[in-house]
Structure 1
Amino acid sequence: MKLKVIAFDADDTLFINEPYFEETEKAFCILMEDYLSHQNISKEVFRIQIKNLPLYGYGIKAYILSLVETAISISGGTLTSKHITRILDLGKELLQKPIELIDGVEETLKQLHGKYKLVVATKGDLKDQQRKLHDSGLGPYFHHIEVMADKEAVNYEKLLKRLEIEPNELMMIGNSLRSDVLPVLEIGGYACHIPFHTTWAHERIDHEVVHPNFSPLTDIRQVTQVIESIG
């Protein structure tokens, strides 16, 4: 069977995202540095984020809630309204960051548009992801936008059903081996990994991926060659 659907992750695959979170966390560490070292604050932020994933999911709003909880925890409950206001302001600033396309993205979408059904398959807050896609100017290239609660095999299987395709008719492209590659290979699809220079610790894996349906790339422009080799 030939590929019918090419799915793209959004954050750090289509446009820059993680560096903005790192900037926000650095500002948060400065805000809370009277209580702990920056390194220990970051460790606590990550711990609380992971603990809250089943409750809040992914995205900026979930992240800010975890920052507030972290601040309360490390301050021993002595957090002032000034601190909370500043944390909320950090969240609003993060929600209004400019959209910066990753080099080669629009060129690649232009080449694939009309030949395949293009979709966005990403995690995060629905409203924020829709805003970013709209502001990026990439919306017209995509047939469907799927904001997933998580990116596990079962989530991709649901996507296949909605798109009415078989697993080997899907190719997923993203910067996370954990979320964009391994689950898709597990269900029998194709996956391309395009690493971004910075990756959230939760998305990293400690082993090499070897699979006939897997293509490690260095540039999104290489995607078209891989797709053409499959059909």
Structure 2
Amino acid sequence: MSQSTQSVKQTLLFDLDDTLIHCNKYFDIVIAEYLKLMSRWFVAYRVMQQDILSIQSRFDLEGVSANGFVSTHFPQSLVKCYEFLCEQTGRAYSQAEYEILWKLGLSVYEMEVEPYPGMLETLNRLRDEGHDLFLYTGGETVIQQRKIEQMKLSVYFDDRIFIRQHKTTEALSSILHQLETDPLQTWMIGNSLRTDVIPALTNGINSVYLKQNNEWAYNLVDVTVEPKGAFYTIDRLTSVPDVIQQWCTDRDVRVF
């Protein structure tokens, strides 16, 4: 029987935000508007924008660490920073200003999302090659489902979608247990070292890290887990099919 050149079907779990679609850029837009407001309100107290950003970021990271990817953690970071600076400077607190900032923070979830370059090309190729595609994203179901519907991603993932408030090693372990796949033929593809790469490597599956130029601080952690299989770092989504194909080729994994 002759040997086929087609690679063995792989199980591929894709992250959503800043892997398949843009996400951080919308938060950056809101933060820029936030800094304009805060700089104007605190101009008499000589509070620097970099200090405002540092304080807001601290509250943001504390919130997501404690509560996961809930929609309130971002607007809470904006208003907590505001309250903190009012207390530190002696500036009078305003409920109206609080409500402006809260509404501004929530507005990030109302923006129309955009795909990353090559999203359709990448998913089409992987689907056509016969791989099993799954979506594994963090956040609130209503918000994430809206993005999925906007991008018409059910064409590729159907009901093979997992949405979790906390993207942890344990959450991924539960999903993998449900899927019952071969670890060395299972991949997690995402932009977060914290919530995509480390959980994948800890669970003994392959990982592709999509490195972004302007990454959220929460996602940037040291990777100390020794891979049991593949661990690739790429800077373009369209590289995903090639690295998977190369891995299968190098291991001489074929179907007959």
TM, length-normalised to structure 2: 0.81
Residue by residue over 1:63-84, the C-alpha shift from the partner in whole angstroms, topping out at 9 and shown as x without a partner, is 1122222221221284312212
Cα distance change of structure 1 residues 190 and 210 upon mapping to structure 2, 3 Å threshold: same
Please give the alpha-carbon distance, in whole angstroms, between the structure 1 residues aligned to 2:221 and 2:66: 23
Cα pair 2:78 2:102 within 8 Å, conserved: no
Deviates more, 1:13-22 or 1:171-180: 171-180
**Aligned position for 2:85:** 74
**Aligned position for 2:74:** 63
Please give the alpha-carbon distance, in whole angstroms, between the structure 1 residues aligned to 2:133 and 2:38: 43
Please give the alpha-carbon distance, in whole angstroms, between the structure 2 residues aligned to 1:12 and 1:100: 10
Cα pair 2:193 2:223 within 8 Å, conserved: no
Once the two structures are superposed, the pairs formed by residues 45-194 of structure 1 within 5 Å of their partners are 45-76=56-87, 78-113=92-127, 115-143=130-158, 144-194=160-210
- CA drift at 1:210: 7.2
Secondary structure class of the residue paired with 2:72: helix
- CA drift at 1:177: 2.1
**Aligned position for 2:50:** 39
Q: How big is the alpha-carbon RMSD for the aligned residues of Structure 1 and Structure 2? A: 2.4
Please give the alpha-carbon distance, in whole angstroms, between the structure 2 residues aligned to 1:74 and 1:166: 52
Please give the alpha-carbon distance, in whole angstroms, between the structure 1 residues aligned to 2:204 and 2:223: 20
Please give the alpha-carbon distance, in whole angstroms, between the structure 2 residues aligned to 1:101 and 1:53: 24
Cα pair 2:70 2:165 within 8 Å, conserved: no
Structure 2 alignment gaps of length 5 or more: 1-7
Please give the alpha-carbon distance, in whole angstroms, between the structure 2 residues aligned to 1:197 and 1:60: 24
Cα distance change of structure 1 residues 196 and 209 upon mapping to structure 2, 3 Å threshold: farther
Secondary structure class of the residue paired with 1:181: helix
Residue by residue over 1:33-89, the C-alpha shift from the partner in whole angstroms, topping out at 9 and shown as x without a partner, is 205321111111122122223543224432112222222122128431221221132
> Which has the higher Rg, Structure 1 or Structure 2?
2
Residue 16, structure 1, aligned to residue 22, structure 2: yes
Between the two proteins, the alignment pairs up a number of residues equal to 231
Cα pair 1:72 1:79 within 8 Å, conserved: yes
Please give the alpha-carbon distance, in whole angstroms, between the structure 1 residues aligned to 2:134 and 2:92: 46
Residue 228, structure 1, aligned to residue 245, structure 2: yes
Please give the alpha-carbon distance, in whole angstroms, between the structure 1 residues aligned to 2:52 and 2:25: 18
Cα pair 1:72 1:78 within 8 Å, conserved: no
TM, length-normalised to structure 1: 0.89
Please give the alpha-carbon distance, in whole angstroms, between the structure 1 residues aligned to 2:179 and 2:223: 31
Letter in 2 for 1:173: I
Cα pair 2:72 2:106 within 8 Å, conserved: no
Cα pair 1:60 1:94 within 8 Å, conserved: no
Cα pair 1:31 1:83 within 8 Å, conserved: no
- CA drift at 1:162: 2.2
Secondary structure class of the residue paired with 2:51: helix
Cα pair 1:106 1:138 within 8 Å, conserved: no
Please give the alpha-carbon distance, in whole angstroms, between the structure 1 residues aligned to 2:148 and 2:187: 20
Deviates more, 1:191-200 or 1:136-145: 136-145
Cα pair 2:183 2:205 within 8 Å, conserved: yes
Secondary structure class of the residue paired with 1:6: strand
Please give the alpha-carbon distance, in whole angstroms, between the structure 1 residues aligned to 2:103 and 2:169: 36
- CA drift at 1:3: 5.1
